[in-house]
Amino acid sequence: MKLYKCTHCNKIKKESEFHKSNRTNRRKKVRSDCKLCHAKYRKIFLATEGGFMKKLFYSIQERCRKAQRTSRIFKTDFTKEEFLQMWEDHKNKYGMKCVFTGITLDFIKSPKQVRGNQVSVDRLDNNLDYTKNNIVFCSSKANFMKASVTIDMCRKIVALYEERQGIDKTQKMNTMKGYKSISSYRTAPYLNR
C-alpha cells in the first residue's frame, strides 16, 4: 500500500484517500490533494461566480453528450468564452435578476430536492437545442416551474386569465404604458399582486 502526502493539509494518507490523476505524464498515479481537501476547495470554488458559471457551462456540455446516447440529441452552438459573454450581457441587461421572475440570482448550490435562486440555464423552446438564441439565464426555481411549458400553453393561460379577470385590450395597453420594454413590465409590481 502506497502512502502520499497531501499538498493542502500536509497529512500522509493512503492511496485510496486520493483521486486518481488524469494526467498521463505524472510520476504519481494520484492527485496532489487528498479527496477531503479537493472537495473542500471545490465547494469554495463553485460558490464563486466564475467557478459556478464554468460548472454550468460544462453541465450543459455533459447533458448534450448524455443525450446523444439516447434517441434525443442536444447540441450547442457556443464556446465557453461565448457562454460567459452571454452571462455578462445578461447582467448588463437584467442585472443579477431572473429573466422570468425578477428575483435576485445567486451561486449557492441548493440541496437536490430544493430548487433555489441559483443561476440556471433554460431553453425557451424545449424542442430546440442549447443555442445562443434559445437559452436564457433564470433561477433554478423558475426553470423547474417552467419545465416543458410551451409558448402556446403560455398564451392560453394568459388568455384564460384575462377572460376570467375581465381584462380587455384597452386595459391591457393601459397597464403596459410607461414600461420601456417587456423586461421592465415583467419585473414590475403589477406581477406581485
Angle between helix axes 49-68 and 80-94 (nearest 10 degrees) is: 120
Mean pLDDT of the chain: 82
One domain, residues 137 and 164: no
Nearest alpha-carbon partner for 87 in 125, 45, 56, 44: 56
**Rounded distance, CA 78 to CA 18, Å?**
34
Q: Is the pLDDT of residue 185 over 80?
A: no
One domain, residues 53 and 92: yes
Count of structural domains within the chain: 2
One domain, residues 188 and 134: no
The model scores a pTM over 0.85:
no
pLDDT reported for residue 129: 87
One domain, residues 58 and 140: yes
Q: Specify if 75 maps to a domain.
A: yes
One domain, residues 181 and 140: no
Q: Is the pLDDT of residue 178 over 70?
A: no
One domain, residues 93 and 159: no
80-139: pLDDT as tens digits: 999 999 999 999 999 999 999 999 999 987 776 667 899 999 998 888 889 999 999 999
Range of the domain at 106: 45-146
pLDDT reported for residue 186: 47
